[in-house]
Structure 1
Amino acid sequence: MHSSKSFLEYDRQLWVLFAGRVIAAIGFSIVMPFLSIFLYTEMGVPMTVVGIVFLGNAVAGAVGQVIGGELADRLGRRPIMCISMVMRTAVFLLLSVAIAGMVDLWIIAILLMATSLTGSLFEPATNALVADLVSPGRRLEAYSILRVGQNVGWALGPLLGGLLAVISYASLFLFTALTSMIVAIITYTWISDSSRAITESDKLDASDLKKVWKNRIFIAICLATIPLFIVLGQMTSTLALFSKDIVGISVAEVGYLYTLNGIIVIFLQLPMARYVNKFRMTHVLVVGGILYAIGYFIIGWASSLWILVASMIIISMGENIISSPSINLVANISSEHDRGRYMGVAGIFQTFGWSIGPLVGGILYDSLIDKPVILWSSIATVSLISVFGFTWISKIIPREIDVVDDS
């Protein structure tokens, strides 16, 4: 276990990034849980169409990741981070005006895609900067610190968003514009660039990428994670709307649910990750998938806030269990020189699951809204696909890949 002194040994810029991650996550989580509620209840958009809007956002975000990573190498980390947040500020201001004026859906959808595109430019530059600042042996811990910062933001954002939504939905986007500008100022003031020139070894070779796709066990793992991320995608879409529209809780109480999720992740993620490291990772992912299934199945029986609270606790525990092994498994199956490439390919599958999650949930919501038990049982069943997938993988994967390296 690291002492507090060891945390202080990190470069000061890592803690600047941590503060920026908290503020950015507050802004993002103020908007996301309530976006589907606004589109469905205020604009009358069918949930299937809401799912398509979320899919468009995810596609724009994936494009932004690719562009941001390339520009971060060519122009530097700090310039791209600043440009990203300044552009996102402008787009969120436009969104605030558009939503206040209740403009056409297609305009709002385009602006939402622009926020996803501009925001995604920030992530690869940030991750690259951490790799520049931190020695290889401590990078995993450094990235974990940033993830805790993100969850601090997710604990605070929905709580504040639930209160602002009572005033107006436009105020959510106005506040997010403010947080984006604060992050831009922090980055410009306290971050110094550390980028390096591109070398021939940094350039992607198509043959290297083919080797990744030919790794059958790795691709099986990636395919098995898709259903988990489809289910996870319900968190900011179908679950939020169902909680308000069907269960009948207030928008503020929806915010409390997401705050509860953030609190559980913040305080229990590291202890749970240490505990599950004792077991084979595929077995842990099976347990996590079962917890997801149980948590989402319970939602179908929800008639009050407290049943939703019980469901959120179970779902959050599943999230804590899944997060660490899913990363370690990819790290173990790859070698040091191609680990980033493997992580990137795994990210494509995860993004795909997250992207189609709201669409799958939207179709089920529109079709089964009068049958909530069947609706959420169907979503829970999607998680069970991953359970069966990882159960099968556990029988074919070499044990040395499936266990945590304690050395």
Structure 2
Amino acid sequence: MTPAAPTLPAATRTTPYLRLLIATQFAFNIGFYAVLPYLATHLGTGLGMAGWLVGLVLGLRTFSQQGLFVVGGALTDRYGPRPVVLVGCALRIAGFGWLALAGSTATVIGAVVLIGFAAALFSPAVESETARESVRYERDTGTPRAQVLAVFSAAGQAGAFIGPLLGSLLLLLGAGFRAACLAGALVFAGVLAGHARLMPRRAPVTRTAESRGSVREVFGNRPFLVLCLAYSSYLIAYNQLYLSLPAEVERATGAQTALGWLFALSSLLVVCAQLPLTRWAAHRLAPRTALVTGLGTVAAGFAAVPLTPGGPAGLLPGATLVVLLTLGQMLLVPAARGLVPELVDDRRLGLATGALSSVSGLAVLGGSAATGALLQAPGPVRWAALAAVPLAGAALALGLPVGRNGKRERCDGVEVGVETPPIPPGGRTP
């Protein structure tokens, strides 16, 4: 008898430390998304900034976060996750408080850079600890690590869904953008207090030459770089939710009013389907297979847009893209994160986790200009070119080790996982 997919509460009955990390991701996104969706309007309408300056401020926030993940990861490896998380929380509280009071261009830029850098410290520490603990939990209980990482992703999406609602509620009540910033700061104050009390201490690592060689070791790891490139193709594709999807919605309906509903559809899909889908995939697909299948599903979403009839209000092509892209994301993200501990030394896990995000962020920065130019191309050409990006990533991913629990082998000098038979329906369950 095939076991039923777990509910979110059942799936989170892991270890207290993993529950802390999962709850952290949930709270992190509530605080972040209570503010971010309303930042551009506040800068343009509230502070009267020109459009180009609003774009510059938002770009600086993204760069100070995504581009500096590798710094947070390296600091996590050097000092352990606890101090990095605590400092990141404190800086995020200060950044939100500063943004609430900022009234000039210089102070706004300082606040958003501080907010971004705080996440560059906080997120790699939490994500690398989650990956490390999921491997340990897999070894102790037999529960596939992808299942734990899926709970982590679903918790983040739930926070991303609730956060904008909190911000909207505050704005509707007349509290304004400043109140949303202070609410975000309050959320992070709670996260800071929880980690100060519950996060275990780890002795600092005192390495000199070894620390200096860690960057060369990670970036000289060919399988890991292949994973970074494959993952980058996904993020370039995912970025089209903010670039090509709005253009498609406006083309189909004459306005972007329905865009929010499509974003809500994406978040709800992850919250509702991430756990059962990952549990199914973890028992039947090797991580490499899940990664390749996910990228292929994302590519199918782009290819389907010119082939899907307009449907009600012309939104069916856009909705098809959102559904397939989200399904692909749910397959490939836990698989990619689960492969990182297979490809790098455990002592370099923080650096590698940060590098995965930083390399992908730089690829998105470069790829956005190219994909933006496609907006002027004929529809079939544009969507075919966009589909080719994740397909190229899938082809690259075929060169990765399959990755799995248990057995290990050497690949290009790096110890990696090899596939063990999946658990059949009706077989052992965690």
Query: Into which bin does the TM-score normalised by the smaller protein fall?
Result: 0.7 to 0.9
Say if 1:36 and 1:240, in contact at 8 Å, map to a contact too: no
Deviates more, 1:348-357 or 1:372-381: 372-381
Instruction: State the shift of 1:325 in Å.
Output: 2.4
Q: Distance in 2 between matches of 1:117 and 1:405?
A: 42
Residue 32 (structure 1) shift? 4.6
Indicate the larger mover: 45-54 or 226-235.
45-54
1:6-405 residue pairs with structure 2 within 5 A?
8=13, 10-11=15-16, 14-32=18-36, 43-45=50-52, 52-53=59-60, 56-59=63-66, 61-62=68-69, 65-66=72-73, 69=76, 73=80, 77=82, 81-96=85-100, 98=102, 104=105, 108-126=108-126, 136-137=136-137, 140=145, 144-159=150-165, 171=176, 174-188=179-193, 191-200=197-206, 204-207=210-213, 210-235=216-241, 237-239=242-244, 241-242=246-247, 248-250=254-256, 253-277=258-282, 278-298=284-304, 304-334=314-344, 338-341=345-348, 344-345=351-352, 347-358=354-365, 360-362=367-369, 364-365=371-372, 368-369=375-376, 374-391=381-398, 401=417, 403=419
Cα deviation per residue 1:151-206 (whole Å; 9 max; x = unaligned)?
211232345557778899x9457424413322313532673352132245798445
DSSP 3-state at the match of 1:121: helix
Structure 1 CA distance, aligned partners of 2:288 and 2:387?
19
Q: Taking structure 1 as reference, are residues 181 and 154 closer, same or farther at Cα in structure 2, changes over 3 Å only?
A: same
Which residue type is aligned with residue 25 of structure 1?
N
**Once the two structures are superposed, what CA deviation does each residue of 1:368-387 show, in whole Å capped at 9, x if it has no partner?**
35756544443332222212
Q: Once structures 1 and 2 are overlaid, which stretch shifts more, 115-124 or 172-181?
A: 172-181
SS at match of 2:15: coil
Distance in 2 (alpha carbons) for counterparts of 1:386 and 1:63: 22
Structure 2 distance, partners of 1:8, 1:249, is: 44
Q: CA deviation at 1:352?
A: 2.0
| Range with greater deviation from structure 2 (1-10 or 215-224) | 1-10
- Comparing both structures, which one devotes a greater share of its residues to helix? 1
1:210-260, Cα deviation, whole Å (9 max, x unpaired): 45545434433333332222222344x425753676555556x43332332
Aligned-residue offset at 1:313: 0.9
Q: Deviations along 1:260-285, whole A, 9 cap, x unmatched?
A: 22222222223222333423443432
**8 Å CA contact retained: 1:286, 1:387:** yes
User: For the Cα contact (< 8 Å) 1:154–1:262, is it kept in 2?
Assistant: yes
**Structure 2 vs 1, CA of residues 254 and 163 (structure 1 numbering), >3 Å: closer, same or farther?**
farther
Does 293-302 or 378-387 show the bigger shift? 293-302
Q: What's the offset of the Cα at 1:24? A: 2.0
CA RMSD between the two structures: 4.6
TM-score if structure 1 supplies the norm length? 0.73
Do 2:69 and 2:354's aligned partners in 1 also have CA atoms closer than 8 Å?
no
Equivalent AA in structure 1 for residue 184 of structure 2: T
Evaluate the alpha carbon distance shift between residue 297 and residue 26 of structure 1 in structure 2; reply closer, same or farther with a 3 A threshold.
farther
Given that 1:158 and 1:259 are in contact with CA atoms closer than 8 Å, whether structure 2 keeps it comes out as no
Q: Distance in 2 between matches of 1:394 and 1:182?
A: 40
Contact between 2:78 and 2:206, CA under 8 Å: does it hold in 1?
no
Aligned residues: 391
Letter of the structure 2 residue corresponding to residue 314 of structure 1? L
**SS in structure 1 of the partner of residue 285 of structure 2:** coil
1:31-82 residue CA offsets vs partner (Å, 9 max, x unmatched): 5556678889984339996885465234554265147526853xx82x6545
Greater shift, 304-313 or 129-138, is seen at 129-138
CA distance in 2, matches of 1:351, 1:361: 15
Tell me which amino acid in the other structure corresponds to 2:263.
Y
Q: Alpha-carbon deviation of 1:328? A: 3.4
What SS class does the counterpart of residue 201 from structure 2 fall into? coil
Match for 2:27: what amino acid? I
Distance in 2 between residues matched to 1:366 and 1:225, nearest whole Å: 22
Consecutive unaligned residues of structure 2, counting only runs of 5 or more, are: 140-144, 403-409, 424-430
Q: 8 Å contact 1:293–1:380 — kept in the other structure?
A: yes
